[in-house]
Structure 1
């Protein structure tokens, strides 16, 4: 899979940061720019004028308006290009019974889009020297009964572990009692449900793996997972409407969307919602834009660390797609390589795509699982149309800002 364009952007951006640092240190009149705050910036071409951006935004609005009318899309949207927000919109209701309307400040359960946050927490601890990707799980969870499983295998869905969302239905005695990450570990230690396959044999998407990573974050950091996420990610990025599952916060009618399934029936949280790491993050499209922009900086982790997370790992079950650390990696017909993730959980359906080539993103949060997000391919094809086979992609110039 071609990935050299993104890697070259990273390298040029890092070099530009170093140049700015050198220049700033030599002049007392210049404000010192700290390297971790340097941003990888792709200059918009001269043809991308405000008029063009406005027109593009109107076209995106038309796409989602039709998706709302014809496919029943209910949710919020934010789309960017060259780091600029070109469109944001809200369609439908936060709660179909009360008719609370959605806005781009409405909070949604992120479902599996949560996984990328868990992955970055692991990366941060790795940079701090508190863990290594090749560490065995027993380093942090001594009584973990499955041998030969590493942190990296959890990050890349190659552990072979059984899915807790299935085996807990059989093993958890009272579904009126919340299930915690520690409870998942206890069930695995006591009952030892059968593995799906031997570690690192193949890719198999695993919620269990990311729930275990949240436990590793707790053990390595000495902080509860929710506290670590708030202190080290959400608060520094001023993601003020982002948090992990909390019964009181989720119950805030109007501010927090309710999940809905077929027939627009409300889907209330249940005992599995309290397991974190694989899901359980709540946020808005506005806050996810802050997250998107932060990933072009080194505020959280170094650029080379993030580059590894965006790189394919091992054999995958699709020719045009792979998986990194908390992100799917896809080659588009346009020739661009994007990173993205979708999510589906208890009445919520989410989609988050980032294209490093033009610093664009498509962020979609829905609280109605009616299949409308199956049409994200149409939006993607509009934003990144296929180029003729002999056409070359224009090279963007990366700089720090």
Structure 2
């Protein structure tokens, strides 16, 4: 199979902080918007250990390149990747095809559907409105959607997947009569009002991952900001962070020009959009690994929200505690082999897979986007062990036996 693989190794020092941009003004006269964004783009400091040198970064990049080359050739990985350490991009690459039918090659500038990685942007929109004084996390859904038929559900419970609501992607299959007509966030609400699909659980009793909850959060953003959710994200997040290749799905996405990946089945057949794609909040954002790096770096500043507000997103709220994982606002939280804590999220939707991991203690990230969901992401645990070994002072634990064996091939 013909393919193009591009890579770039960056080991020339710590990346400069991004310059602040003025945010756009109010869209509606009389609507108060006291933006926090843009007031403090100073990056929080990180201690770079003496062991992290240009040479060690180069060696790690070479190992990563060998591993992803192996995943591409032997495991069918098709996508893009970007890895950072201590705010530096040490590796990025593109493997395979943006469209197998057209034989278009991927580049690191290719945009992918982020699927559930979109949830962290929805959570950020809510946090920004909270800092604007426009809402609180304890507000009920009825304060913004008066005819919503399920009582006792708060914004916080939507953020942390404790609403207990049934999945709109399932009940819409039964209740939406015309599959040729796009479903909107308001349509989801209308279906819930008219048919009241039975919740899975009572609110605030257990964690139950809910796409419905995040679609409702997008609707709340629209009600509070008095503008479309996509416009809010663009004006308040994407444009200030110079995420120039990031956008939300619309029925016109197929006609857009530029580098946009096509979703495929595991057998490389093209996936087509359907009536569910137009619901936003739980999914629907397209972005690139380079734009997601800008997003990652912004989260080490107070450009969007204050440090205190952001910390709540990385705090676990699950009522039943699991030893291996918790959930904040649009982020999963878990300890890793070396004892540190990471925040991450994955996504899977209509031929796309996405994964974004952040290690706040050392300002590092692993960003992987794919348009061929064939199970190749199951090997990301091995990449995580390579990046964050359990015994970093021991050379014997630098790669782990599985990866070391493959990189010798």
TM above 0.5, yes or no, is yes
C-alpha distance in 2, partners of 1:153/1:176? 33
C-alpha distance in 2, partners of 1:378/1:57? 15
C-alpha distance in 2, partners of 1:238/1:188? 37
> 2:377 corresponds to which residue?
373
Which residue of 309, 332, 339 maps to 2:336?
332
> 1:62 corresponds to which residue?
66
Given that 1:241 and 1:287 are in contact with CA atoms closer than 8 Å, whether structure 2 keeps it comes out as: yes
Task: Establish whether residue 195 from structure 1 lines up as the match of residue 199 from structure 2.
Answer: yes
> Larger relative contact order (C-alpha < 8 A, sep ≥ 6)?
1
> 2:218 corresponds to which residue?
214
Report the TM-score when normalising by structure 1: 0.87
Task: Establish whether residue 77 from structure 1 lines up as the match of residue 90 from structure 2.
Answer: no
> 1:249 corresponds to which residue?
253
Task: Establish whether residue 262 from structure 1 lines up as the match of residue 266 from structure 2.
Answer: yes
Which residue of 304, 318, 324 maps to 1:314?
318
Task: Establish whether residue 233 from structure 1 lines up as the match of residue 237 from structure 2.
Answer: yes
Cα shift at 1:333: 1.2
- Residues 89-100 of structure 1: matches in 2 within 5 Å? 89-100=93-104
After superposition, the C-alpha distances for 1:110-155 in whole angstroms (9 at most, x for unaligned) are: 0000000000000000000100000000000000000000000000
C-alpha distance in 2, partners of 1:323/1:128? 24
3-state SS of the aligned residue for 1:63? helix
* Aligned length, in residue pairs: 356
C-alpha distance in 1, partners of 2:265/2:117? 19
C-alpha distance in 2, partners of 1:237/1:383? 27
Task: Establish whether residue 150 from structure 1 lines up as the match of residue 150 from structure 2.
Answer: no
C-alpha distance in 1, partners of 2:235/2:216? 20
Given that 2:41 and 2:298 are in contact with CA atoms closer than 8 Å, whether structure 1 keeps it comes out as: no
3-state SS of the aligned residue for 1:354? strand
Given that 2:342 and 2:360 are in contact with CA atoms closer than 8 Å, whether structure 1 keeps it comes out as: yes
Task: Establish whether residue 323 from structure 1 lines up as the match of residue 322 from structure 2.
Answer: no
C-alpha distance in 1, partners of 2:83/2:203? 38
Given that 1:258 and 1:267 are in contact with CA atoms closer than 8 Å, whether structure 2 keeps it comes out as: yes
Given that 1:316 and 1:322 are in contact with CA atoms closer than 8 Å, whether structure 2 keeps it comes out as: no
Task: Establish whether residue 280 from structure 1 lines up as the match of residue 280 from structure 2.
Answer: no
> 1:345 corresponds to which residue?
349
Cα shift at 1:63: 1.1
Cα shift at 1:253: 6.4
Which residue of 83, 87, 90 maps to 1:86?
90
C-alpha distance in 1, partners of 2:267/2:114? 21
Which residue of 112, 120, 134 maps to 1:108?
112
Task: Establish whether residue 205 from structure 1 lines up as the match of residue 195 from structure 2.
Answer: no
Given that 1:156 and 1:323 are in contact with CA atoms closer than 8 Å, whether structure 2 keeps it comes out as: yes
Cα shift at 1:254: 6.2
C-alpha distance in 2, partners of 1:304/1:269? 39
C-alpha RMSD of matched pairs (Å): 1.4
C-alpha distance in 2, partners of 1:76/1:41? 28
3-state SS of the aligned residue for 2:339? coil
After superposition, the C-alpha distances for 1:167-203 in whole angstroms (9 at most, x for unaligned) are: 0000001111100000000000000000001001100
> 1:391 corresponds to which residue?
none
3-state SS of the aligned residue for 1:87? strand
After superposition, the C-alpha distances for 1:202-243 in whole angstroms (9 at most, x for unaligned) are: 000000000000000001111110010000000000001001
* Greater mean alpha carbon deviation, residues 142-151 or residues 313-322: 313-322
Cα shift at 1:48: 1.4
Higher helix residue share: 1
